[in-house]
Chains A and B, each alone.
Chain A
Amino acid sequence: MHASVRRIIRKGLRMKKPASAIIKPILLGISLIIGFMFIFVGIGMEEFYEIAGNALTL
């Protein structure tokens, strides 16, 4: 393993922060990234036409 990676892991293990302080930003990042990704995937799949079709026929 590269020395810089080992240094980061060692630094992480020494941190006195509670687990939630680390997990929460990770969850936030995941939700934002997946959110953006899904929107672009949906647009790419022309999902909007289906939404509109459903909305207008109901």
Chain B
Amino acid sequence: MKQKFNFYAHNWSRLFVLIVSIFVIDGHFYVKYYPQVREFLMNIPIPVLNCYSVPTTLYACPVGTFQHFLVIGYFSFVTFGLLLLIGGLVGRWTCGWLCPFGFVQELLHLIPTPKFKIPKWARYIKYVILLVFVVIMPLFVANVHSAETGKSKMVLVSQLPEDEQDFAQRETWFCRLICPAGTLGAGIPQVLMKDNLKDLVGMLYWWKIAILFIVLTSAVFTRRPFCTTICPLGAFLGLFNRFSILKLTFIEEHCYNCNLCVRDCPMGLDPRKDYRSPECIRCMNCVQKKCFAIRKYASITDEMPQKN
């Protein structure tokens, strides 16, 4: 059988939800004249990668919010609680059904070119990024601006003189150095729209453009490269996949090895083996197939409820 990626076959509901989610998340247009509505909605972090610097966005990004609170010396209870709740309920489902940046990568993958698999070891990079750039660096690394050279450099807060430590400028390092969703949605449009920002374009801006270019280019050749290797939100929510209420299961007797589920998995997994993998984004592409070997169910325990 020809292993051609047939992304939305039998799963139009996901395509519909993804399109609607873009208009709901980046819906500044229809609340333009109601700033108080935007102010209220901006309080709510939603479990998708959605930079709050995007001019059209209505909600807060959980990764950015979490880092921001660490930077100012607090712990974001709402963001962490929300992620625990969403993870416990549906695992990584929001990555597959709501995330606009994941959707962009999937659309790019539809471009007909030779396709490649991401090596398994690369999946672990995102856990390192989650730990280093989202948790450790916002706590311990400051950005020090030198008046003499006019350049900024990264310094451990503990290395600064004691009287300067309280005022050290800690940063949301993941957003600043890596996040390509922020570059695509906020960095590029902001620089294009605002003339005063054009003067601020420097090495960091081009560094982030390079990351975005690499991510988007590799999305053409591999399946969801950012979600597989970099996304700290996906890394966190993926930890819940093994015990979340929404579960997938594989019934071997129903499988006749048609490989349709493998062909249509946007994460490049084999759903027959990896149905509880932290990489699974619960897109349900594999559930829609005629063999019914992969099934979804909601249960607190591992056992699938029997239908009467």
Contacts and interface: CB of A to CB of B under 8 A. Distances in A.
Interface of A: 20-21, 24-25, 27-29, 31-32, 34-43, 45, 47-52, 54-56, 58
B302 A31 contact: no
Contacts of A41: 77, 81
B87 A31 contact: yes
Contact of A24 (B42, B89, B301): B301
B85 A24 contact: no
Given A32-B85, A34-B81, 4 more contacts: A21-B302, A39-B77, A50-B72, A56-B42
Given A28-B243, A35-B85, A43 B78 contact: yes
Given A28-B243, A52-B42, A56-B39, A38 B78 contact: yes
Given A24-B302, A25-B301, A28-B243, A51 B80 contact: no
Interface string B226-256: 0000000000000010111100000000000
A52 B81 contact: no
A24 B65 CA distance: 29
Given A24-B242, A25-B243, A35 B302 contact: no
Contacts of B78: 38-39, 42-43, 47-48, 51
B179 interface: no
12 contacts: A24-B302, A31-B85, A32-B85, A34-B84, A35-B82, A47-B69, A50-B68, A50-B72, A51-B42, A51-B45, A51-B79, A55-B52
B99 interface: no
Contacts of A54: 52, 60, 64-65, 68
B95 to A, nearest CB: 17
Interface string B206-225: 00000000000000000000
A38 B60 contact: no
Given A28-B88, A28-B245, A38 B81 contact: yes
A8 B81 CA distance: 32
A39 B240 CA distance: 18
Contacts of B69: 47, 50
A36 to B, nearest CB: 6
B53 interface: yes
Nearest to B182: A58
Question: Chain A CB within 10 Å — which of B69, B86, B87, B88 has the most?
Answer: B88
Contacts of A20: 302
Contacts of B65: 51, 54-55
A31 B76 contact: no
B43 interface: yes
Given A48-B43, A52-B39, A55-B52, A39 B82 contact: yes
Nearest to B301: A25
B104 interface: no
Contacts of B111: none
Contacts of B79: 42, 51
A28 B65 CA distance: 24
B173 to A, nearest CB: 15
B88 A52 contact: no
Across the A-B interface, give the 9 residue pairs with the lowest CB-CB distance, nearest first: A38-B81, A42-B78, A35-B85, A35-B84, A42-B77, A24-B243, A31-B88, A39-B81, A48-B43
A38 B77 contact: yes
